Every structure is written in structure tokens, then in C-alpha cells.
Chains A and B, each alone.
Chain A
Amino acid sequence: MDDAEAQERLTGLWVDHHEQVTRFVARRVAPELVDDVVSEVFLVAWRRLDDVPADPRPWLFGVARNVLATHLRTHGRWRALNVRIEQQPTLVREGADDVAADRADLRQAWELLSDGDREVIALVAWDGLTTVEAARVLGCRPSTFSVRLTRARKRLLAFSEVPSETAEVLQKLQEAR
């Protein structure tokens, strides 16, 4: 690939995927770090253009995940990416109390999930990936990802049915670990 072809290829990746990569990163890192991480992702792409597959999105997300993991590494101990949940209360339509209650339960359940479960669910629910694509991001087999997703969903469902008081105790226990 000559220089002109390389520039055209990266520009295409940037135009087609910048927003998706930015969202992927924004879900997982503090806002002030997003731009730097996204730039690093595309710089890796620039230097490895020959490796970028025909379907680049999972590959870019995989690079982003590694760049993020590098950023979040703590004392040589790897942590699963802590996918953030929206912090602001969701606007609820008038008369939609049941919806609001469901969402509160879901938010509470999400907080009780492990980082690993959150990441698996977020790849599908937020990043919009298929099982095959999400497996490529995590570097595992699709069948393995499916099992992890099924288990994570079961835990999310179970946690969403936990009474609030119990959930608070569980959350404090988690925070104390």
C-alpha cells in the first residue's frame, strides 16, 4: 500500500468509524481521556493498516479496548473495563412511573454486576455488536461469548429482582472488596 492509498484508507476509517469508536471509548473512560484514547486507536490503525480487516469495527473496538486497558491498568493488575452507566437520572414521561421503577431496578442491578459481566452486556446492548463481532473484540470464540452473555443476562435479571434493601447491602459488600 503506497502513501496515497494509506492516507485514503485511514481517512475512510476515520469518517466511517470515528463516532462509533468515540462512543465505545466514552462508555468506558472519563470524558477528559476520550479524545486521547480515540486518537491512539486511529494511530494504531495508521501504523497497522495492512492488518485492518474488511469489517474494521470489531478490530477498532479491540484496539480501543487494549488502549483503554493500558490506560486503566493498576499496579500490574488488570481490571476488566468498568463500563460506566449514565449518571444522570433518565427523563421519565409523565404517567410512566412503572417504566421509571423498572429502570431504577435495572440501574441498581447494573451496579451489582461484575465489571466482566457489564462489559459483555455493554458490547451487545450499547455497542450494538453481534455475538461474533463482540467475541472478536474480546478475543474469544463466539460460543464462549454466548455463554458469558447468557450468564451475565441471568445475573442482571436476578439482581433486578433483588429488594432494594438487599441490593444496598450487596453493593456495600462489593465496594468493600
Chain B
Amino acid sequence: MRSPMLDELAELDPARELRAPGHADDDALAQILAQPRVAPAGERRPAARRPGRVAAAASAAAAVAVAVVVTTVTLDSPAAYASWTPVPDAVPEAEQELRTEQCGAGAAEIVDGPDGPVVQDSPVEPVLVDVRGDYTYVVMAGEGAYTECFVTAPADEPPTVVTAGAAGVDLPAPDARDLTTLQRGTASWSEGDGTEGALTSAFGQAGDDVAAVELTLTSGERVEASVADGWWAVWAPGGAALAARAEVTYTDGTTVMTDVMAGP
């Protein structure tokens, strides 16, 4: 089957010098072995990535039901997320639709096929749009599926779109005065060359009585989450940028402190 041409092509293999032997005492393996063999609902994708070896947090990936889309990254700003604001911008619905049209309409799920694993799409649609400066963070949800979508749209430049999500998960509606956290932490897809660096995000569902959610940055600055139609979401520049505690304000004016970064 091999030919001289294929042998010659082997010289152009970008990974031919790559050495990555697996060892029984690798931390990354231990992280995977510590995971339950049945994926829990609403599991988080990898959080902050450490360089060099498999990310420790990658073991928390919803490996049976995840999707990450990375399109061309064109950002080259020395001031990361310069136009970010601690309070989300009020944006007309028409502009919201414009900003979210790049986010697609499906969450991917890896399922068994006759010839091995295949990827299936579950439909989702926007349930919350959080706009801060040039950045739009969109939560999309459908039957047992959700995605988060981050759109960067500087003036006169093509948008950059990154999404991550999960399918085949339970999305039980919270009680009226409760919040659920579906995903939280440093988004691994926001790091790497050509991006503005790490960002921390969190989102989930909000009960009918929840009117507002306010968090605190690790720097001490207050950040107002977006709350709409039974969902809440927030993001901020930097890795691990959000403190775990949030102040929830109910429609009757009362408030309570709760831990929103602990996850489901």
C-alpha cells in the first residue's frame, strides 16, 4: 500500500519528532481514573489549561457530550477585553439577533454508531444574550442540551466566534428562589495564541423569583450577571476571575448570598 511518494511524505509529518509516552503514574491519567465511569449531567468542560501535558482539569470534560468551535481568531489587542463592562449593556433585540447569528443552532453529542462513535447535533436556540462592549456571550439551550457562545465583534472587523456545550444532559428547572450552575470556571478555549487571553464564565438556570445576580471579581470589583427568561450568565476577563459567592436579589426585594461557582 505504501509508495515512495508516501514515504517521502512521511518526512513532512508535523508530529514525527513528538514524544509523549504515557506512564501509569501520570497525573492526567489519575484525573481520568478519578472520574465516574458514567458521565454526570451538566458536567463542565476543561477549565484552565496547564501547558505541556494533559490538562489536569481536562478530566472534568463532558467527553461524551461536548462541542467547541473555534473559528479564525483575529484579535490582536494589547489591552485584553478593553471594552468589557461590569454591567451588561442594554442592546435592542434586533442587534442581539445580529450578534448571535454566528452561534449556530446545535450542541454536539458523541453517540454510538454502527461503525464506532459518531457526532450528532441537538438543536438549541438563544435563551440569554449578555453584551459587554465588543463582546457578546450567548447561552443557548434545547431539549437536554445547552451551549455557550462567545462572539467578539470589533467595529469593522469580522466576528470571532467560540462555542462550547453539552448534549444529552438533564436540565431540571430550579425552584422559584434557586439558581443552578451548569458551567463555571476558566474557559479553556479563551486561551492560546491569537486570543485576548483567559476569561472566566458561569451560567445556569434561575428560578422565577430571581431578579438579579451580582458577583465579585477576585479583584474586588462587582459584576452584574445577566438574568433573562429563567437563565443567568456572567463572564469576566482573566482566569479564575470570579469569586464563588453571589448576591441574589429576588423580585420581592430580598437578597441572599449563595455559592454559584460550586457547580451542580
Which A residues contact B (CB, under 8 angstroms)?
A: 6-7, 10-11, 14-19, 22-24, 26-27, 30, 32-33, 35-36, 38-44, 46-47, 49, 51, 59, 62-63, 66-67, 69-76, 84-87, 90, 102-103, 106-107, 110, 121, 124-126, 130-131, 136, 139-140, 149, 153, 156-157, 160
Q: Is the CB of B15 within 8 A of A36?
A: no
Determine whether B80 belongs to the interface, using a CB cutoff of 8 Å to chain A: no
Closest B residue to A102 using CB positions: B8
> 17 more A-B contacts (CB under 8 A) besides A7-B33, A106-B5, A107-B12?
A11-B24, A14-B29, A35-B54, A38-B20, A39-B32, A39-B46, A43-B35, A47-B63, A59-B116, A70-B67, A86-B12, A86-B13, A86-B16, A121-B6, A124-B1, A124-B6, A139-B116
Give bound CA distance, A24 to B193, whole Å: 21
Q: Which of B12, B23, B118, B121 contacts A110 (CB 8 A)?
A: B12
Within 8 A of A (CB), among B211-259: none
Residues of A close to B170: CB separation below 8 A = none
Q: Is the CB of B1 within 8 A of A149?
A: yes
Within 8 A of A (CB), among B1-48: 1-3, 5-16, 18-24, 26, 28-29, 31-33, 35, 37-39, 46
Q: Is the CB of B117 within 8 A of A66?
A: yes
Residues of A close to B54: CB separation below 8 A = 35-36, 38-39
Determine whether B104 belongs to the interface, using a CB cutoff of 8 Å to chain A: yes
Q: Is the CB of B113 within 8 A of A139?
A: yes
Q: What interface size band does chain B fall in?
A: 35 or more
Residues of A close to B26: CB separation below 8 A = 14, 18
Query: Which residue, B14, B46, B115, B193, has most C-beta atoms of chain A within 10 A?
Result: B14
Q: Is the CB of A27 within 8 A of B55?
A: no
Interface majority SS on B: helix, strand, loop or mixed? loop
Residues of B close to A139: CB separation below 8 A = 113, 115-116, 118
Q: Is the CB of A126 within 8 A of B69?
A: no
Q: Which of A10, A59, A62, A121 contacts B32 (CB 8 A)?
A: A10
A73 CB to nearest chain B CB (Å):
5
Residues of A close to B71: CB separation below 8 A = 74-75
Q: Is the CB of B37 within 8 A of A6?
A: yes
Chain B 68-84 interface 0/1 with A at a Cβ cutoff of 8 Å (1 = within)? 11110000000000000
Residues of B close to A149: CB separation below 8 A = 1
Which B residues contact A (CB, under 8 angstroms)?
A: 1-3, 5-16, 18-24, 26, 28-29, 31-33, 35, 37-39, 46, 49, 52-55, 58-59, 61, 63-64, 66-71, 102, 104-106, 108, 110, 112-113, 115-119, 121, 161, 188, 191-193
Give bound CA distance, A49 to B106, whole Å: 28
Residues of A close to B191: CB separation below 8 A = 32
**A27 and B13 in contact (CB under 8 A), knowing A18-B22, A36-B49, A72-B70?**
yes
Q: Which of B9, B28, B52, B63 contacts A121 (CB 8 A)?
A: B9
**A18 and B10 in contact (CB under 8 A), knowing A36-B46, A72-B69, A149-B1?**
no
Q: Is the CB of A87 within 8 A of B14?
A: yes
**A76 and B106 in contact (CB under 8 A), knowing A18-B21, A47-B63, A66-B118?**
yes
Q: Is the CB of B49 within 8 A of A76?
A: no
**A46 and B37 in contact (CB under 8 A), knowing A14-B26, A76-B106?**
yes
Give bound CA distance, A110 to B16, whole Å: 17
Q: Is the CB of A39 within 8 A of B59?
A: yes
Residues of A close to B119: CB separation below 8 A = 66, 69-70, 73
Give bound CA distance, A36 to B69, whole Å: 14
Closest A residue to B161 using CB positions: A75
A-B contact pairs, 14 of them (CB 8 A): A11-B24, A11-B33, A15-B22, A27-B15, A32-B192, A35-B28, A39-B54, A43-B61, A47-B38, A47-B39, A70-B68, A121-B6, A125-B2, A140-B115
Residues of A close to B68: CB separation below 8 A = 70-71
**A43 and B3 in contact (CB under 8 A), knowing A19-B22, A67-B110, A71-B68?**
no
Q: Is the CB of A67 within 8 A of B22?
A: no
